[in-house]
Structure 1
Amino acid sequence: MRLTEKLTCVGMVALLAGCSSLNPFASKAAPRNPPAALQELKPTVSVRTAWTANVGKSGAYVFTPALAAGSIFAAAADGTIARIGAVDGREAWRINAGAPLTAGVGSDGTTVAVVAEKGVLMAFDADGKQRWKAQASSEVLSAPAVGQGLVVVRSADNRIAAYDVESGTRRWIAQRPTPPLTLRTAPGVVIAGNSAFVALPGGRLVALALTNGGARWEVAVGDPRGTTELERIADMSGIPAVHGGEVCAAAYQGRVACFDVNNGAARWGKELSSEVGVGVDERYVYAADSAGNVTAFVRGTGAGAWRNKWLAYRSLSAPVPVGNVVAVGDFEGYVHFLSREDGSMMARQATDGSPVYAGLAGPGGLTIFQTKAGSIVALKAE
């Protein structure tokens, strides 16, 4: 199911008002907005598959790979964790965590962190040997962030906790308010400098001090609006992107916006609804909205540079800018390469036919994606 079909209700009123229509056994009507058919495309760049690997299916969760120390670290719902060479795709090791996992991998190259069912946080060393286990306060749906001697996770009850990377001892915990109704999605955490930037339900972005979890600043990316709880969902999407002195993020039924990393001062914001987050390079901020449009915004001002409308309602992944192209995956397992300069369609590459959920920029101009079926695919546009 797409992320907008997965809702979490808090309290009986929200349960009755917001979730009664989400009966999985009810007959499904035809989609109101059918996905756009793919048009015949004459490639203007050559795309080749550099390597592929498979770690296992994602199941009901969204798994994101991590790039660190020249390797891709990836995981699957059945507990599989693998370390794969980012350049050549060679598998260094593969282990099983011993429990079903609920989120992707966080790594700094020396520590590999994953989360199992019921919020069990596990850390392994660079060779796949388990270091420690710890218990989060509730289920965790987004990949841990690893850096500055800490492993930081956000659990479903909106608690953010930091654990010592060596021992697993909890260093601090921060509690944020939880809206009555939220998407059952995975707004993420990124560590940069001396802060953890955390995307939260309710459309909030907070910067926490790594020393003690205190809030350096907190801003609204999506302000809840509307008369019903469903209309007022404005949850953060994907993982915040830090580039230079800015952190940029997007919210469902909210905005795409950039803020100063030091004090949270708003640089700019534009109305946009996204379920998957943003991609950033030195010139643009790229966002795929809920309608399947991909838009590039000028980083400094937020002015719209271009918009691609050819992938309407194809459930796109967050854009990944690499060199002169911007890559996005879709629900049929295709990866589309757009021009960084004007957004035009440049090439298309099939993967395994399952939804493409998450990607990242790899070494040597590679784009690396993980699919729902568990394929890790490294592509090179030349």
Structure 2
Amino acid sequence: MRSVTATAAQATSFARSPRTGKLVLKLAAVAAVVTLSGCSLFSSKKDPNPPAPLVEFTQKLRVQTAWSVSVGKSGSFQFSPAYAAGSIFAAANDGSVVRINAQNGQTLWRSRTDMDLTAGVGTDGSTVVVVGQKGRIQAFDATSGKPTWSAQAPSEVLSSPAVGEGLVVIRSIDNRVTAYDADNGSQRWMVQRNVPSLTLRNAPGIAIGSQTAFVALPGGRLSALALNNGGPRWEVPVGDPRGTTELERISDVSGVPALGSRDICAASYQGRIGCFDLLNGNVRWIKEFSSDVGVNLDDAYVYAADISGAVTEFARDTGAVIWRNDRLKNRVLSAPIAVGKAVAVADYQGYIHFLSREDGAFVARLSTDGSAIQAPPVSTGSSVVFQTKSGTVVSVVAE
């Protein structure tokens, strides 16, 4: 579930319906729940924002499931797969961790932690890292699946660990970014960031490259930290907190920043979308946008789904809108991802929709297990891999 988390000093929190994307206000003191619908605090029996019905179209693209593997349910957390060393690594809330051959779906090993997990897998192909209850970190050898070390994060972790260049970098919900040695788990550095009064209870991610950790943060900030000591290289505002209430001012960066060779792109909730220079953070382009699932990119384009359910393709160099498909309204979409001649995006019913890269028209559709797909998909180069809330990891190819 996508939700909004208050600081410990506050008595309220907010959650988003996985079906409609609406905000739900939970009053902890009186255990009352009401639905925010427009300007009213009272819900009606009729959904004011119903999911768009599936569009009928002539299928023009051949898509198929290459393989699927059951890993385990996500529970109330978000679990996304990771791709490295020719394998897909995935985890589940019950503590299961698996390595799957990305070509044929063969399970190479399956391990089980002694704790419930709270986020997806991080790996560089050598070390596999998961996080569990109360911020406990567990690492495995990627070849054998055997546990190698464990460590303790400062608080609960909802984002997948980032593993690369000899480090494991983790952001906990108290907004501390901590780096651990990938070989033995010893802490290398820690950076404390300010915590906004209200934040989305989602999984803003971390990308590692060029000896830098690029960290998506609550409050709409994208921060570049030096891997050797956590020192700041640059920081830019992707979000632009505005409004008269704390709820209106939520502008967290969403999803995992999309890392290119010379730029990095990101989007925020109630904020903006943009691409920035990798070395100094200079703005290449930025536009008004609201997303809670993040972005993906390829050599020429940036793909993003906004909170209303519209999918947009932007020119990567200028930010110009190439096309926009708004016929998946209120279907609670995943981040889109390029696959072959199409852009794939999943929804709350487990459908994967394929849109033409040229004009955004529907070209194919594929069903999975019927449960929501909200976690970021990953590309293997020849396929894309999604993980459903019910725990199916599915590899899809498009021709």
- Partners in 1 of 2:34 and 2:277 — Cα distance? 47
Selected match of 1:296 from 313, 318, 322? 313
Deviations 1:279-318 (A, max 9, x none): 1001111110000000011011011110001101100000
- Specify the SS of the correspondent of 1:63: coil
Deviations 1:215-266 (A, max 9, x none): 1001100011000000000011000001120000000000011100100000
- Specify the SS of the correspondent of 1:172: strand
Q: Which residue of 2 aligns with 1:7?
A: 4
Deviations 1:74-123 (A, max 9, x none): 00000000000001000001010111000000001110000011000111
1:378–1:98 distance in 2 versus 1, CA, 3 Å:
same
List gaps (5 residues or longer) in structure 2. 16-23, 36-42
1:86–1:319 distance in 2 versus 1, CA, 3 Å:
same
Question: Which region of structure 1 is more displaced relative to structure 2, 37-46 or 282-291?
Answer: 37-46
Q: Which residue of 1 aligns with 2:323?
A: 306
Q: Is the 8 A contact 2:219 2:239 kept in 1?
A: yes
Deviations 1:160-184 (A, max 9, x none): 0000011100000011111011111
Q: Is the 8 A contact 2:100 2:109 kept in 1?
A: yes
- 2:95 aligned with 1:82: no
- Partners in 2 of 1:99 and 1:17 — Cα distance? 26
After superposition, where does 1:240-255 map in structure 2 within 5 Å?
240-255=257-272
Once the two structures are TM-superposed, the CA of residue 10 in structure 1 deviates from its matched residue by 1.4
- Partners in 1 of 2:165 and 2:376 — Cα distance? 24
- Specify the SS of the correspondent of 1:239: strand
1:364–1:252 distance in 2 versus 1, CA, 3 Å:
closer
- 2:76 aligned with 1:60: yes
Selected match of 2:393 from 373, 376, 379? 376
Q: Is the 8 A contact 1:18 1:229 kept in 2?
A: no
Q: Which residue of 2 aligns with 1:189?
A: 206
Structure 2 counterpart of 1:15, one-letter code: A
Q: TM-score normalized by structure 2?
A: 0.92
- 2:67 aligned with 1:51: yes
Once the two structures are TM-superposed, the CA of residue 27 in structure 1 deviates from its matched residue by 6.5
Q: Which residue of 2 aligns with 1:287?
A: 304
- Specify the SS of the correspondent of 1:41: coil
1:120–1:324 distance in 2 versus 1, CA, 3 Å:
same
Structure 1 counterpart of 2:26, one-letter code: L
Structure 2 counterpart of 1:190, one-letter code: A
Selected match of 2:25 from 21, 24, 28? 21
- Specify the SS of the correspondent of 1:26: strand
Q: Is the 8 A contact 2:222 2:237 kept in 1?
A: yes
Once the two structures are TM-superposed, the CA of residue 324 in structure 1 deviates from its matched residue by 1.3
Once the two structures are TM-superposed, the CA of residue 18 in structure 1 deviates from its matched residue by 7.1
- Partners in 2 of 1:162 and 1:363 — Cα distance? 27
- Specify the SS of the correspondent of 1:132: strand
- 2:147 aligned with 1:130: yes
- Partners in 1 of 2:6 and 2:98 — Cα distance? 34
The alignment-based identity, stated in percent, is 56
RMSD of Structure 2 on Structure 1 (CA)? 1.5
- Partners in 2 of 1:281 and 1:364 — Cα distance? 11
- Partners in 2 of 1:358 and 1:108 — Cα distance? 19
Q: Is the 8 A contact 1:47 1:381 kept in 2?
A: yes
Q: TM-score normalized by structure 1?
A: 0.96
Q: Is the 8 A contact 1:11 1:180 kept in 2?
A: no
Q: Which residue of 2 aligns with 1:225?
A: 242
- Partners in 2 of 1:377 and 1:17 — Cα distance? 33
1:191–1:42 distance in 2 versus 1, CA, 3 Å:
same
1:200–1:360 distance in 2 versus 1, CA, 3 Å:
same
1:132–1:294 distance in 2 versus 1, CA, 3 Å:
same
Question: Which region of structure 1 is more displaced relative to structure 2, 149-158 or 22-31?
Answer: 22-31
After superposition, where does 1:169-208 map in structure 2 within 5 Å?
169-208=186-225
- Partners in 2 of 1:89 and 1:205 — Cα distance? 35
- Specify the SS of the correspondent of 2:374: strand
- 2:360 aligned with 1:343: yes
- Partners in 1 of 2:262 and 2:201 — Cα distance? 30
- Partners in 1 of 2:292 and 2:283 — Cα distance? 21
- Specify the SS of the correspondent of 2:33: coil
- 2:99 aligned with 1:108: no
Count of paired positions? 378
List gaps (5 residues or longer) in structure 1. none
- 2:168 aligned with 1:151: yes
- Specify the SS of the correspondent of 1:48: strand
Deviations 1:130-163 (A, max 9, x none): 1111000000000000000000000000000000
Structure 1 counterpart of 2:110, one-letter code: R
